[in-house]
Structures are given as structure tokens and as C-alpha cells.
């Protein structure tokens, strides 16, 4: 089931990214509007993020 309003439970979305997106509605809406390939590129950019603060900063930067 592909429900873009429930991204935090989506397949392939790291828990930290999903949680940070859940805390930033604008960033979640932006992420949901992207193609699967664009979403995957963002996910790949999160693999070296090691803290909650870094992830929040990364997600906030998606909409700047």
C-alpha cells in the first residue's frame, strides 16, 4: 500500500529520517512530492548522519 501521507512507515525509509520528517510537516510534504528516484537520493544522503540533531538539520535543509 503506497500512502504518501504515512511516510514514516514507508519501505526503505530509515527510522531517523522518518521521525525527522514527521516532526517537519513542510519537509514531509516536499519529500512526498518527489519521485521515487529523488526520494532514494535523499535517503542515500542520510547514511552518514549519526545524530538526531544532524538528521533534523538535514531534513530542515530540504525546504530551505
* Confidence class for position 52, pLDDT limits 50, 70, 90: very high
Query: Which grid cell sits at 36?
Result: 521515487
Domain residue ranges of the chain, discontinuous segments joined by +: 4-61
Q: Mind listing the pLDDT tens digit for each residue in 2-32?
A: 444 445 555 689 999 999 999 999 999 999 9
**pLDDT, position 53:** 97
**pLDDT, position 3:** 44
Q: Tally the C-alpha atoms within 13 A of residue 13's C-alpha that lie toward its C-beta.
A: 23
- Alpha-carbon gap, residue 23 to 44, rounded angstroms: 20
The sign of the torsion formed by the CA atoms of 17, 18, 24, 29 equals positive
The answer on pLDDT for 44 being more than 70 is yes
Of the listed ranges 2-6, 27-31, 50-54, 55-59, the least confidently predicted one is 2-6
Query: Which grid cell sits at 24?
Result: 517537519
Amino acid at each position: 500500500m503506497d500512502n504518501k501521507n504515512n511516510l514514516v512507515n514507508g519501505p526503505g525509509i530509515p527510522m531517523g529520517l522518518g521521525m525527522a520528517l514527521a516532526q517537519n510537516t513542510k519537509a514531509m510534504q516536499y519529500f512526498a512530492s518527489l519521485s521515487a528516484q529523488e526520494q532514494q537520493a535523499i535517503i542515500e544522503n542520510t547514511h552518514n548522519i549519526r545524530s538526531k540533531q544532524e538528521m533534523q538539520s538535514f531534513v530542515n535543509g530540504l525546504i530551505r
